[in-house]
Amino acid sequence: NIVAFDESPKKEGLLYVGTDDGLIQISEDMGKSWKKQNSVAGVPETTYVSCLKASLHDENVVYVSFENHKNNDFKPYILKSTNKGGSWTSIVGNLPDGEVIWNIAEDHENPDLLFIGTEHGLYFTIDNGVNWTKLSAGLPNIAIRDIDIQRRENDLVLASYGRGFYVLDDFSALRDLKKIEDKEDYIFPIRPSLMYNQSSPFGWRKKGHFGDNFYTADNPPVGAVFTYYVAEGMQTPKQIRKKEEAKKIKANEDIPYPSFEEFTKEDNALKPYILFTIRDEQGKVVRKLKASASAGMKRIVWDFRYPATGAIRKNGGKNTFANEGGGLPVMPGNYTVEMAKVVGDQITPIGNKQSFITRSLYNQRLAADPATQKLKLEMQELNRIFSGVNQEFSLLKKQTGLVKLAIKATPNSTLEMMKQALEVEQKLDSLNTVLYGNKSLSKRYKASPPSLNSRLSNAIYNSWGTHEPPTQTQIDDFKIVQNHMDQIQQDLKNIKADLRKLDTELDKIKAAYTPGRL
């Protein structure tokens, strides 16, 4: 029975056929005549031909794989012919026993880059089979029965046995692996990055309101993908100690207990990391991203956005805006990215600078207009200021409430102190109406003028979901908020000064502590 078939893409009519009893038959005249090979050196007779793959680059080259597990033989068999199947040479290389081979794929650009699907995953070689490396990040230990390549995007598509499909997005970095053979840090070439906004077909992110029983697969993250290599990882003192202790355990040696000075040094040590700096055509820093300091080949995605300008908050000890949650989108154009390693307070550039281009999907919208970019940067700055105003307002409101409680709880406080506190509270209420609107009217469904916060939301946050220029309404709202900011900031400073005066009076009567008085 015929179980493997392929036609040379370089020569019409050059056909290869493999059977389930180990035969290979070759025709060079579209099947009018055939040459039969009853056996291949190094392969047991009647071994199942699992795949035949004619080269995309050379009509004389063809690859074949066999699998013999039904005869309790789990060795990998993969061979190459450079004379249209006239003779065969094994390219098993360093493949381990037990890796039955099911499929072969050849890169459409680099003839030395091959992929094979095996019983336990996926392997690739960049030297035509001399050395094989397993690709396992994100891929379970499963049989890969079919492989295909999406040539436009350089995506590797895998079909597994019983575990669905897997896609390796843009494997083009594998073509340049020889550039890191000298063990230097390196950022691989970056393909043109398409800017677009993801749709929400189910009303919200991912599954929307459909629940867990509704299956959806994650899309690749939107952004410029940086594939990079770190030759030597950086470790904390604790990680170094643990590594040394593991060696001693393996050697059956005693492990000394660290001193308290060593523990203190470990506890106070800053975790090293890799810092990526993205710049525009003028060399201005657009964004900085942090990544793990571990060694190896990795990826990080920049979401085409400026850094978040909202006030910094802590969430579970982690900066919410560390890498994710960026600000407004940047303009399409040319950018560069560089790497540096950060250890303690030392920043050391590593690797190379890599240039890349971003452009709108289909090139239909938003040319790189300097005026639009300038306006969006001004919006970013206004968002930074307004976010600070929000946080300062909330802090002053909280402090005022605590000051009132302290006045009530202190026996020798005066009515004048409470009067001053109520005046501060009244000023904050008036400012609250300007910033956030009249709640008394809104909860009774009475129309009221838009608040500065709602205008800012319309002007800035609605721009986050588009790469198009702001509308005239958004520009008008932006200018209205911008014109109010100086007065709002001055009002907050005056209220803060009034609170500090009250703090002085509370100290005199030895009132209970309130935040801001120390």
**Four-CA torsion 434, 439, 440, 442, nearest 10 degrees:** 110
Least confident of 321-325, 364-368, 422-426, 444-448: 321-325
Higher pLDDT, 183 or 360: 360
Report strand pairing: 15-19 vs 2-7.
Answer: antiparallel
Enter the DSSP assignment of 502.
H
**Full-model pTM:** 0.81
pLDDT at residue number 442: 81
Enter the DSSP assignment of 218.
P
Q: Which parts of 20-100 are beta strand (E)?
A: 24-27, 35-37, 48-54, 62-68, 73-81, 89-90
Average pLDDT over the chain reads: 90
Instruction: Give the pLDDT confidence of 476-509 residue by residue, as tens digits.
Output: 999 999 999 999 999 999 999 999 999 999 999 9
pLDDT at residue number 352: 92
Q: What separation, in Å, do the N-terminal and C-terminal C-alpha atoms of the chain show? A: 88
Instruction: Give the pLDDT confidence of 273-289 residue by residue, as tens digits.
Output: 999 999 999 999 999 99
The total of other beta-carbon atoms located within 10 Å of residue 99's CB is: 21
pLDDT at residue number 360: 83
Higher pLDDT, 233 or 179: 233
CA separation for the pair 175, 185 (Å, rounded): 16
Q: Contact at 8 Å (CB) between 61 and 87? A: no
CA separation for the pair 260, 265 (Å, rounded): 9
Higher pLDDT, 44 or 326: 44
Instruction: Give the pLDDT confidence of 352-403 residue by residue, as tens digits.
Output: 999 999 988 875 555 557 788 788 889 889 989 999 999 999 999 999 999 9
CA separation for the pair 431, 396 (Å, rounded): 12
pLDDT band at 269 (very low <50, low <70, confident <90, very high): confident
Instruction: Give the pLDDT confidence of 230-268 residue by residue, as tens digits.
Output: 988 888 889 889 999 999 999 999 999 999 988 998 898
CA separation for the pair 503, 399 (Å, rounded): 10
Mean pLDDT of 395-413: 94
Higher pLDDT, 15 or 326: 15
pLDDT at residue number 430: 94
Q: Contact at 8 Å (CB) between 66 and 26? A: no
> What counts of helices (H) and strands (E) characterise the chain?
7, 25
Tell me the three state secondary structure of residue 142. coil
CA distances from 155 to 63, 107, 115, 150, 167 (A): 21, 11, 12, 5, 7
Mean pLDDT of 124-132: 95
Enter the DSSP assignment of 449.
P
Mean pLDDT of 36-59: 95
Report strand pairing: 48-54 vs 35-37.
Answer: unpaired
Q: Three-state SS string across 302-327, please?
A: ECCECCCCCCCCEECCEECCCCCCCC
Closest CA to 4 of 127, 142, 104, 97: 104
The total of other beta-carbon atoms located within 10 Å of residue 321's CB is: 17
pLDDT at residue number 82: 97
Longest Cα pair distance anywhere in the chain, in angstroms? 113
Q: Contact at 8 Å (CB) between 147 and 157? A: yes
| pLDDT > 70: percent of the chain | 95
Token duo for residue 122: 């996926």
CA separation for the pair 385, 483 (Å, rounded): 12
Enter the DSSP assignment of 95.
P
Token duo for residue 473: 């309404």
The total of other beta-carbon atoms located within 10 Å of residue 135's CB is: 17
Instruction: Give the pLDDT confidence of 291-344 residue by residue, as tens digits.
Output: 999 888 899 999 998 888 877 665 544 443 344 557 788 888 899 999 999 988
**Residue position matching structure tokens 């050391």:** 348
Q: Contact at 8 Å (CB) between 464 and 450? A: no
pLDDT at residue number 312: 67
Residue 326 φ then ψ, to 5° = -70, 180
Closest CA to 100 of 125, 126, 73, 132: 73
Report strand pairing: 346-360 vs 193-195.
Answer: parallel
pLDDT at residue number 215: 83
Written as one letter, the residue type at 26 is: I
The string of DSSP codes covering 150-215 is: ETTTTEEEEEESSS-EEEE--GGGGGGGGGGTT---EEPP-PPEEE-----TTSSSTTTTS-TTS-
Which residues on neighbouring strands pair with residue 150, listed in sequence order? 155
Least confident of 17-21, 46-50, 450-454, 456-460: 456-460
